[in-house]
Amino acid sequence: LRSEGRFSRGLPQVESRVILRGDRGRLYARTKIESQDYEQCWSVRTTEGPPQDGLTSVRPNPFLRAKFLGSMIMPPSSSESYPKPAGDPQVKMQKFIIRLSQMKHAELIVQDGMELAGINFEDAARHTTSQVAVYNWSTAPLDNGWFEPSNEWKCQDLQFLESSDQLEAWDLLQVFFPPPEAVESGRRLFAI
C-alpha cells in the first residue's frame, strides 16, 4: 500500500508505504517527509507466528460481505476525487458497504462494476470520515518483489514493535484482511 498526501506548505508531501507479510507475521511501514529530511520505519509483529499453511492456501474474498447500496453516474467535473478514465464523459459507479463494527463502516466505490476506485470510512462514534482514492486496482498476481521493502528504504532507525494491538483498529486492514468468521457469515457479532 502506498499513500501520498499534501497537507500544508510546511508538509508539501508525505509518503507512506505499508507492506503486510502474513507469511512472516510482520507488517513493515515507512513514512517519509522529503522536505524535512525525515524517514521512519517500523517492523511490527502481526501474529504469534506465520500461518501454518504459508502462502499456499486460498484466502476468502474479503468483498463477499459487502452489501450493495446503489449506483450513481459521476460526470467528469464531479468534485469526488476518485480516478476517472480520460475522455469518458460519465462514469458509472456502484457503492457497497462493509460494516466494521457497530459504529464504523467502509463504503466501497466500484467503477463500472469491476474496478475499486475508492473507499470512504465513517466512524460515527468519533464523528470522523476519511476518503481513499484507489488507482491502478488489479487482482492479477503480483511479483514477489512488491512484498519486500525496496532499496530506497534507508531505515537507519528501524523500530521493532512486538505488540500489534493497534493493528486491529486499522480500518483499512479490517476491510482487506477481515477475521474469517466475518467473511464466512457475511455478518459479525459485536459485544455490547
What local confidence, expressed as pLDDT, does residue 104 receive? 94
Contact by Cβ (8 Å): 186, 68: no
**Distance spanning both ends of the chain, measured CA to CA:** 33
Name the grid cell of 49. 507466528
Contact by Cβ (8 Å): 19, 44: no
**Cα radius of gyration rounded to whole Å, the chain:** 18
The reported pTM is: 0.71
What is the 3-state composition of the chain as percent helix, strand, coil, each rounded to the nearest 5?
15, 35, 50
What local confidence, expressed as pLDDT, does residue 88 receive? 59
Per-residue burial over 144-181, b if 16 or more Cβ lie within 10 Å, else e, is: eeeeebeeebeeeeeeeeeebeebeeebebbbeebeee
Name the grid cell of 85. 478514465
Mean pLDDT by 10 residues, the chain (192 residues): 76 84 84 87 71 53 87 66 60 90 93 86 93 83 79 79 74 79 55 50
